[in-house]
Amino acid sequence: MIIGRLFTAIPRMSTLVKVVYNYLGIPSFIRYNKTFWDTYNFLQKSQYWPREKLQEYQFKQLKKLLRHAYENVPYYRKTFKKRGLRPEDIRSLEDLNKIPCLDKDTFKSRFNEMIAKNIDIRNMPLSHTSGTTGKPLQFYRTYTENIIEWAFICHQWSRVGYKPGERRVEIRGPLINKKKPVIHRPLDGVLRLSPVIRDKEGVSFYLRCIKSFGARYIHGYPSAIATLAGMIKKYSFKVPFKLKAVFFASEEVYGWERKIVEEVFNCRVFSHYGQAEHVALASECENSYFYHFVPQYGIVEIDPKTHEIIGTGFFNYVNPFIRYKTTDVVSEPILSECEYCGRSYFPLIERIEGRMEDFIVTPDGAVIPPAVITHPFKDLKTIKNTQLIQLDIDSILLRVSFFKNATNKSERELNQLICGLQEIFGPNVKIETEIVDEIKRTPTGKFRWIISKVSEKILNE
């Protein structure tokens, strides 16, 4: 417990502890403590509960959270009072819509009123979203919440055989700007590789590292793992190890990424969706590619007009997120139980479409999801990487980086790509190009393929 608290206070602690945490990991007796096993065992047991029992559980959690928020969090108290509401007026899950939704701007501008007064935050580090566009959202969460989150992730991964504590290779996280782009965290059983893979030598080095580490799971950003798979194929390397699964997380997943990774590593790609605010968690079914949201994690509502996920997380009592608008958009929700695995988890969805800012909107009113835009990008040979930035409703910047030794074939390929995009976006959108050596990742190492500066506003109109 004391050591747990020590880790909670990491940002304020000595450099030595930070170095231990960053380079060795969290000792397993802290990470796999009683909270972890209680949560994990509960999830393994309750995953086949019938819908009514899951909803009953959700309502119990909701009542507890609302009572706490009303009594201790000034923002929620004011919001309830303004509407003449008390927590006991919420008598069913459906009644939740009596409480207004919370958007990111309100959370940021009224942050001081969002903090529970009965919890001591003096030694608590601030967490934040990755802030791929705009300013990241900052909030508090406890160390215990992180442990619970890890139990939920392990629960989801157990569908493809992963056991808590098993070794894994991570290709994610902040860039490791070193000649040797690798960190071994022995206490976590993790070998972490930088998401930036520069050349053929880099690929060869990664393959040797993964082989000698002996992990059977790779976990990380789809963009980085797909780039590695693509380069393995391009340079005709043989994969010298056998994986059980590749876990995709933290970025949008495109069909081509899944395809190349499954082909090159000859195993299942298993993807999950979550967010730093911990309001909604979903992952794929082991018997299909449908995602199920996990009802024990929080309450998920899908906006009927925009299909935005609105989530209420059960575990953050410092900064409760109630009916929080995530700006993430999904395909049409399905409310029946999953016919492929028999779980009653809900809702069920076919795809995470992306964030609102991943959609391109055009002057003639079309809303184009990223999956549609991928088509002209298939089978590129000389173009290594691309990024689309919608600057205005009628203006898109296409950023391109080429493989080394690109020839005049590259120009032809670029022109074809622009023609393909013009067909999708229509004649009223101007596409400009910018050629760069390397397309930059965000400070946390994530890659954003599409960034629209106008779509969120337009979709909400």
Q: Which residues bind Zn ion (CB under 5 A)?
A: 285, 338, 340-341
Nearest CA to 252 out of 227, 223, 289 is that of 223
Strand order, beta sheet including 182-185:
182-185, 190-193, 168-171, 217-220, 245-248, 268-273, 282-284, 291-293, 348-349
159/192 with CB nearer Zn ion: 159
Q: How far is the CB of 284 from Zn ion (least distance, A)?
A: 8
Q: How far is the CB of 343 from Zn ion (least distance, A)?
A: 5
Which one-letter DSSP state was computed for residue 125?
Answer: P
Q: How far is the CB of 303 from Zn ion (least distance, A)?
A: 24
343/384 with CB nearer Zn ion: 343
Which one-letter DSSP state was computed for residue 416?
Answer: H
Q: How far is the CB of 251 from Zn ion (least distance, A)?
A: 23
Q: How far is the CB of 342 from Zn ion (least distance, A)?
A: 7
6/341 with CB nearer Zn ion: 341
Start-to-end CA span in the chain (Å): 48
Q: How far is the CB of 306 from Zn ion (least distance, A)?
A: 25
341/371 with CB nearer Zn ion: 341
48/235 with CB nearer Zn ion: 48
Asked if residues 7 and 26 have their Cβ atoms less than 8 Å apart, the reply is yes
d(CA 87, CA 77): 10
70/162 with CB nearer Zn ion: 162
Asked if residues 384 and 429 have their Cβ atoms less than 8 Å apart, the reply is no
d(CA 18, CA 274): 26
Give 206: exposed, middle or buried? Use CB within 10 Å, 0-12, 13-18, 19+: buried
Residue nearest to Zn ion (CB): 285
Residue-by-residue DSSP string for 73-104: -HHHHHHHHHTT--GGG--SGGGGGGSPPB-H
